[in-house]
């Protein structure tokens, strides 16, 4: 849509058309059917070109969706389209390299089809973009962004870039423009940051054996290592059994003398054969020999929490509100639960003719999600610190914990529900 088509004012403007912003917009539009709620989604990226090319790229990046996220996408009417090209996670094997502790989470034991799913980002993005095009009541403008936010008596006045229209007013602005939000900085919203001194190495690898829907969480001397199941990559008659690797590595400087350290930069720079050897030593042989490793990239890791999630007429959603360590795969799934809670409250407020940007409405959102956020953030942070520490006492403690979890169904069930995005918010205290 061009700026000439934009109205001067909207009930809700969403700044950011990534996975979180688009998912929230579509969920809100679905829940608000039959109402006159006006919603504008601004996406700084250009709309992707239409393409019929469905061929898989070996190095395609992917996202882990919990069972709870599947239920949210079902609520939004998006799951049938997503389900056509996702890989089910039926088992999660958690272990500590060189120690006796291990546990296995199984979807059958939990009474569900899968503990979660792995979706290639381009497939997820394609489904969301198609749905945005199909939802006629939802206004989407791309490429366009918010340059300036000015509080007003009825919400906020937004100065736009690339929309063809200079300004629009919004009764509520939903900031969903990512962890490096320029608008968040402009508004003076402080961010509490905990640096882990780690980087995540991301790449896809191929194994000799089929994963059969198994995911692995392996705690090693170099840091936690996660391997998620991906669909096979087929080229001609060759079939490669793929896994998506997230390897947490120390962000340290190599010593000038003495033995080399397994720093993130060193592992990144290894030739493929040496990289495969280092990975095989730490991941093990549960899926047989690693036959290929694709393109590698590094991402610095930290826990970032916005000190304010709401202001009159403004609410933060997704990574702009909380960016988590990827070890437990909770970031997007928590954001989707936040998105559902916010959408439900906003639709209810609209039907009751309450202002969407009023503090009582936004405080109800914070109250509804604060328990889930605290539990998920704590779970992710504690898991990161516990399994990134090689001290013998901690290694013994976590291995006893894994062993006891495997022997105690209630503890194992809670861990599984947390991974599935279905944990009771009040059944545990760290």
User: First CA to last CA across the chain, in angstroms?
Assistant: 48
- Check residue 424 and give its pLDDT: 45
Query: Could you give the C-alpha distances from 25 to 146, 171, 183, 331, 411, in angstroms and in order?
Result: 17, 16, 19, 18, 36
In this structure, is residue 356 part of a structural domain?
A: yes
Overall number of domains in the chain = 1
Judged on CB neighbours under 10 Å (0-12, 13-18, 19+), 206 is: buried
Cβ(21)–Cβ(335) below 8 Å: no
- CATH number of residue 361's parent domain: 3.50.50.60
Query: Could you give the C-alpha distances from 51 to 17, 79, 122, 130, 361, in angstroms and in order?
Result: 20, 21, 12, 11, 41
In this structure, is residue 39 part of a structural domain?
A: yes
What 3-state class would DSSP assign to 407?
A: helix
In this structure, is residue 96 part of a structural domain?
A: no
Q: Name beta bridge partners: 217.
A: 94, 226
In this structure, is residue 167 part of a structural domain?
A: yes
Spatial distance between the Cα atoms of 339 and 176, rounded to a whole number of angstroms: 10
296: Cβ–Cβ under 8 A, 6 or more apart, which residues?
A: 201, 202, 203, 268, 275
pTM of the model: 0.88
In this structure, is residue 255 part of a structural domain?
A: no
Spatial distance between the Cα atoms of 31 and 200, rounded to a whole number of angstroms: 37
- Check residue 261 and give its pLDDT: 58
In this structure, is residue 253 part of a structural domain?
A: no
What 3-state class would DSSP assign to 368?
A: helix
| CA 62 to chain CA centroid, nearest Å | 10
261: DSSP letter:
P
Q: Name beta bridge partners: 233.
A: 240
Tens-binned pLDDT, residue by residue, of the chain (430 aa): 544 479 999 999 999 999 999 999 999 999 999 999 999 999 998 876 655 444 457 888 999 999 999 999 999 999 999 998 999 999 988 877 654 456 778 888 888 899 899 999 999 999 999 999 998 889 999 999 999 999 999 999 999 998 888 999 999 999 999 988 899 999 999 999 999 888 999 999 999 999 999 999 888 877 788 999 999 998 778 899 999 999 989 887 555 544 455 789 999 999 999 999 999 999 999 999 999 999 999 999 899 999 999 999 999 999 999 999 876 678 899 999 999 999 999 999 999 999 999 999 999 999 999 999 998 898 888 777 766 655 544 444 444 444 444 444 444 455 555 666 665 433 322 2
Cβ(155)–Cβ(171) below 8 Å: yes
Q: Of 88, 73, 59, nearest to 20 (Cα)?
A: 73
Cβ(9)–Cβ(168) below 8 Å: yes
Structural domain containing residue 177: 3-48+58-63+120-193+303-385
In this structure, is residue 163 part of a structural domain?
A: yes
In this structure, is residue 353 part of a structural domain?
A: yes
319: DSSP letter:
G
């Amino acid at each position: 849509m061009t700026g000439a088509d934009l109205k001067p004012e909207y009930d809700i403007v969403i700044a950011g058309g990534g996975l979180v912003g688009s998912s929230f917009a579509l969920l809100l539009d679905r829940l608000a059917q039959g109402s006159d709620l006006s919603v504008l989604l601004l996406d700084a990226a250009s709309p992707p070109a239409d393409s019929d090319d469905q061929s898989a790229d070996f190095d395609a990046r992917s996202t882990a969706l919990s069972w709870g996220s599947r239920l949210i996408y079902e609520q939004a009417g998006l799951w049938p389209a997503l389900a056509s090209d996702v890989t089910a996670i039926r088992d999660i094997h958690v272990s500590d390299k060189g120690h006796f502790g291990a546990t296995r989470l199984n979807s059958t034991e939990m009474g569900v089809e899968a503990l979660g799913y792995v979706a290639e980002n381009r497939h997820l993005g394609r489904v969301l973009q198609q749905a945005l095009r199909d939802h006629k009541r939802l206004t989407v403008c791309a490429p366009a962004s918010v340059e300036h936010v000015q509080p007003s008596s009825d919400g906020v006045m937004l100065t736009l870039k690339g929309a063809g229209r200079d300004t629009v007013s919004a009764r509520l602005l939903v900031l969903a423009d990512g962890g490096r939000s320029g608008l968040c900085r402009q508004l003076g919203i402080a961010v509490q940051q905990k640096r882990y001194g780690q980087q995540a190495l991301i790449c896809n690898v191929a194994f000799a054996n089929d994963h059969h829907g198994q995911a692995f969480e392996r705690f090693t001397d170099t840091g936690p290592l996660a391997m998620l199941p991906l669909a096979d990559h087929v080229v001609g008659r060759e079939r490669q059994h793929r896994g998506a690797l997230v390897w947490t590595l120390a962000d340290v400087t190599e010593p000038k003398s003495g033995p080399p350290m397994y720093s993130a930069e060193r592992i990144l720079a290894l030739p493929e054969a040496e990289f495969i050897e280092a990975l095989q030593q730490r991941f093990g042989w549960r899926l047989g020999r690693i036959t290929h490793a694709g393109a590698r990239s590094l991402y610095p890791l930290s826990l970032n929490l916005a000190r304010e999630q709401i202001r009159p007429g403004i609410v933060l959603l997704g990574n702009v509100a909380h960016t988590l360590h990827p070890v437990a795969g909770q970031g997007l799934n928590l954001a989707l639960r936040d998105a559902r809670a916010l959408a439900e409250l906003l639709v209810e407020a609209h039907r009751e003719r309450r202002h969407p940007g009023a503090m009582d409405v936004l405080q109800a959102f914070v109250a509804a999600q604060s328990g889930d956020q605290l539990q998920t953030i704590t779970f992710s942070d504690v898991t990161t610190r516990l399994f990134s520490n090689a001290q013998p006492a901690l290694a013994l403690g976590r291995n006893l914990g894994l062993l006891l979890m495997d022997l105690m169904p209630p503890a194992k069930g809670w861990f599984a529900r947390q991974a599935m995005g279905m944990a009771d918010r009040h059944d545990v205290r760290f």
